[in-house]
């Protein structure tokens, strides 16, 4: 399998942290060129620090982490009565119950958007982008250089929903945070794989799976258990009927590694950018009622057992002893 040249754009965040660990566990399949961070589950200062913490936990002191946009493209006015913040689910640090030491991995001085632009424009091959947070960084890059779309193999993103939202009745959180950015990406002409809530809600944690990860008995597996045990308790409070913490973001990496685990169809998707309660809603034309050209492959079904088998195997790869110095304070 040819290595996938990849930029991971994220906002860690508990499930983002697991997505990053999944990517770092597969150096034979993924050439992770850099990790770019954005405001989303927390302020961008926090998300970049957490990305560096996770890279350090994984023993990847060589990984380049870039801080991106501290705010979204436009301020939404009157779009939702919601008072939700990322801390409500991800905790004050963004990593739930896991307390990782301050990272020694340096933050790159280049802005994340500049890194995306430079990396894509200078590359002799097309590059894939995995996006697990709001799409602000990617949209900014496409606005600054529209021809960038020809340098992107595809964008695999976690965002949107066909049915019920998780921040408003009809909007998913990442798209709600920056509807305009999502709209820029979906109208750019870049090939898109959209893994929305209809799919990711299928991949929720269970007590038995958390005990399986705990039994791996390594610093990283314990850190993941500390993170996801918190998430398992809290996330279910925000989405009644979902049993456990939903692992939304690891799906963008799992799709790249094993696309056969995912089913969907090519459809037309439009993002509502109106400053109303509908902001961030993704209209997914599943039955081609609008007769518009498809602009995304939308996933609606996941092989859940295959997903968790992959994730368990990946976390079991982290066994080297030098990680002891980078583990949770109570591991």
Residues assigned a catalytic role: 248
Residue located via tokens 């919601």: 82
DSSP 121-132: HH-SS-EEEEE-
As a whole number of angstroms, the distance between CA 68 and CA 103 comes to 18
* Residue 328 near residue 99 (C-beta atoms within 8 A): yes
As a whole number of angstroms, the distance between CA 147 and CA 110 comes to 21
**Distant-in-sequence contacts of 261-264, Cβ < 8 A, 24+ apart:** 261/302, 261/303, 261/306, 261/307, 261/310, 262/195, 262/199, 262/299, 262/301, 262/302, 262/303, 263/299, 263/300, 263/301, 263/302, 264/199, 264/297, 264/298, 264/299, 264/300, 264/301
As a whole number of angstroms, the distance between CA 94 and CA 127 comes to 28
As a whole number of angstroms, the distance between CA 285 and CA 103 comes to 44
Strands 262-271 and 296-302: antiparallel
Return the structure tokens found at 124.
Answer: 């002799």
Torsion angles phi and psi, residue 156, rounded to 5: -100, 115
């Amino acid at each position: 399998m040819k290595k996938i040249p990849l930029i991971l754009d994220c906002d860690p965040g508990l499930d983002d942290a697991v997505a990053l660990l999944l990517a770092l566990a597969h150096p034979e399949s993924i050439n992770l060129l850099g990790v770019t961070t954005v405001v989303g589950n927390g302020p961008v200062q926090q998300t970049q620090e957490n990305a560096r913490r996770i890279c350090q936990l994984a023993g990847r002191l060589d990984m380049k982490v870039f801080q991106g946009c501290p705010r979204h493209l436009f301020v939404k006015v009157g779009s939702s009565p919601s008072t939700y913040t990322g801390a409500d689910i991800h905790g004050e640090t963004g990593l739930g119950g896991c307390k990782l030491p301050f990272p020694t991995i340096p933050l790159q001085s280049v802005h994340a958007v500049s890194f995306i632009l430079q990396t894509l424009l200078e590359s002799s091959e097309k590059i894939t982008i995995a996006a697990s947070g709001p799409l602000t960084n990617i949209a900014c890059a496409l606005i600054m250089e529209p021809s960038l779309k020809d340098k992107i193999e595809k964008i695999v993103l976690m965002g949107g929903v066909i049915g019920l939202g998780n921040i408003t009745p009809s909007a998913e959180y990442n798209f709600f945070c920056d509807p305009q950015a999502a709209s820029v990406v979906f109208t750019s002409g870049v090939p898109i794989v959209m893994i929305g809530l209809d799919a990711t809600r299928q991949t929720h944690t269970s007590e038995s799976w958390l005990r399986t990860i705990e039994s791996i008995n390594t610093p990283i597996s314990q850190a993941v258990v500390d993170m996801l045990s918190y998430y398992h308790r809290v996330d279910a409070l925000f989405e009644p009927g979902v049993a456990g913490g939903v692992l939304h973001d690891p799906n963008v990496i799992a799709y790249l590694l094993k696309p056969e685990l995912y089913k969907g169809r090519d459809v037309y998707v439009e993002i509502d950018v109106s400053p109303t309660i509908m902001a961030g809603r993704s209209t997914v034309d599943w039955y081609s009622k609008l007769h518009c050209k498809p602009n995304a492959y939308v996933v609606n079904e996941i092989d859940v057992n295959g997903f968790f088998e992959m994730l368990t195997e990946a976390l079991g790869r982290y066994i080297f002893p030098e990680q002891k110095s980078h583990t949770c304070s109570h591991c």
